[in-house]
């Protein structure tokens, strides 16, 4: 057995990576896209976290994602400003699994927030499978939740394990 283990966290934040919104600099409604840059401001005892969105003309909009007390975290309050790049969610490439001799992929859901259908999630995050192919694999029992056969529209819950039996997936030319 040669499993690949992944941990995924599903939040509304990484579900919606674009917003239609009025841009004061453009003077009209435009599509803001998540730049995957995150900004953290520490103001006294409060920590504010923002996702930085950009309009087509690179104007930025900071969407508040979290507010917490400095004491909740071990953050030095003198660290007034910090910018970091969030890793976009891990994309899974089935052809790479074949190359590496991975027999199955196990995805552990450590956080699930919002409504996530398994076929839709995998269509977004598996680079080389279409939603139709994923639905066929689910129907065939080659994609399971907690080792049980499921339906393509199954909704995901925290602490579940998604198993992809890639060794039985058909090679695509």
Phi, psi of 92 (to 5 degrees): -100, 135
Pick between residue 25 and residue 91 the one whose CB is nearest to Zn ion.
25
Mark the segment that binds Zn ion (CB under 5 A) among 9-17, 58-66, 130-138, 141-149.
58-66
Kindly state whether residue 59 participates in binding Zn ion, applying the rule CB under 5 A: yes
Confirm or reject binding of residue 52 to Zn ion (CB under 5 A).
Answer: no
b vs e for 104-135, b when ≥16 Cβ sit within 10 Å of the residue's Cβ? bbebebeebeeebebbbbbbebbeebeeebbb
- The residue within the footprint of Zn ion, chosen from 23, 52, 137, 142 (CB under 5 A), is 23
Nearer to Zn ion, 29 or 161 (CB): 29
Distance of CA 119 to the CA centre of its chain: 14
Residues making contact with Zn ion (CB under 5 A):
23, 25-26, 55, 57, 59
């Amino acid at each position: 057995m040669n499993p690949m283990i992944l941990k995924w966290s599903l939040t509304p934040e990484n579900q919606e990576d674009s917003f239609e919104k009025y841009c004061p600099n453009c003077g009209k409604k435009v599509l803001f896209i998540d730049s995957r840059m995150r900004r953290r401001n520490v103001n006294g005892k409060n920590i504010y976290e923002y996702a930085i969105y950009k309009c087509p003309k690179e104007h930025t909009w900071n969407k508040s994602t979290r507010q917490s007390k400095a004491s909740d975290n071990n953050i030095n309050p003198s660290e007034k400003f910090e910018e970091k790049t969030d890793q976009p969610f891990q994309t899974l490439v089935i052809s790479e699994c074949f190359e590496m001799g991975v027999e199955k992929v196990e995805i552990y859901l450590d956080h699930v927030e919002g409504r996530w259908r398994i076929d839709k999630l995998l269509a977004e995050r598996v680079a080389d499978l279409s939603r139709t192919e994923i639905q066929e694999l689910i129907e065939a029992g080659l994609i399971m939740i907690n080792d049980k056969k499921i339906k393509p529209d199954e909704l995901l819950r925290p602490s579940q394990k998604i198993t992809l039996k890639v060794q039985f997936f058909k090679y695509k030319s």
